[in-house]
Amino acid sequence: MDQTNLIKDLLFALLLVVLQAFLWNNIHLFGWVSPMCYLIYFYVHPSYTNPMRLLTTAFFMGLLLDIWLDTLALHALACTVVAQSRPWIMQLTFGLAHEQKTFRIHQATWLQRMVFFGLITLIHHWVFFTVEDLSWSHVGAALWRTLITGVATIGVSMLLIAVFKPAKS
């Protein structure tokens, strides 16, 4: 990733954090469910970049959100886990195709993209809500919140991705 792309990438991450803090976190579906659409960052991030850079960006993106939303370091933790597992998720979803530098996510099938973003979301939410509850007696509640918030995140995010998808060249 060259210098210009790096700045663009960081600005995009920052934009998603701001949108999450001021917009998506103020959406309360069913009265309490706020979609975490900033996970779109892990969806659009190029596959060939330095994994250490992704880890660092993910950690600080999460930490910024934590500071704003009073969520301890839960977003930072969940984002770090997602960043680390992203190559594995890509391997699982797209096979070897994602290792090619010419690979673009929007060229994958609709189902593959859904599965990819779905796994990112579920891993993130599961870590987030499990550590937040941190009690065996609340495992069921954590799974329930993972599922409901996950559906909201995937639904709203895929809608946004469909609206703002890049034009076909």
Partner 1 sequence: MSRLTAFFSSNKTKLLFGFYLVLSLTLTLSYQTFNQVRLLHTSGGIGAQIHETTSHWRDYFSLSAQNEVLRQENARLKAAEWNQPMTHQTYSGPYRAKATRVVRNTFNQRDNYLLINTGTKDSITTDMGVVSNLGLVGIIEQTQKGYSSVMSILNSRSRISAQVNRTGHFGSLVWNGSNHNRVQLIDIPITAELKKGDTVATAGMSGIFPEGILIGRLMEWKKSADQNYLELEVALFQDMSRVRNVYVLQNKDKISRDSLIR
Task: Catalog residues that contact partner 1 under the rule CB under 8 A.
Answer: 22, 28, 31-34, 51-52, 55-56, 59, 62-63, 66-74, 76-77, 80-81, 83-84, 131-134, 138, 141, 144
Are residues 61 and 79 in contact, defined by beta-carbon separation less than 8 angstroms? yes
DSSP secondary structure letters along 107-159 = GS-HHHHHHHHHHHHHHHHHHHHHHHH--GGGHHHHHHHHHHHHHHHHHHHHH
Residue with token string 């993130």: 124
Q: How far is the CB of 94 from partner 1 (least distance, A)?
A: 20
In the bound complex, what is the minimum distance in angstroms from residue 84's beta carbon to partner 1? 5
Which residue's CB is nearer to partner 1, number 7 or number 139?
A: 139
Query: How many angstroms separate the Cα of 74 from the Cα of each of 13, 67, 117?
Result: 17, 10, 20
In the bound state with partner 1, the residue whose beta carbon lies nearer, of 76 and 89, is: 76
* Distance separating alpha carbons of residues 50 and 107, to the nearest angstrom: 22
Report the residue number, 74 or 108, with the smaller CB distance to partner 1: 74
Contact 156, 116 (CB under 8 A): no
83/89 with CB nearer partner 1 = 83
Q: Supply the minimum distance, in Å, between the C-beta of residue 76 and partner 1.
A: 4
As measured in angstroms, the least distance from the Cβ of 80 to partner 1 is: 4
Least distance CB 145 / partner 1 (angstroms): 8
Distance CA 14, CA 41 (A): 10
| Residue 113 or 126 having the CB closest to partner 1 | 126
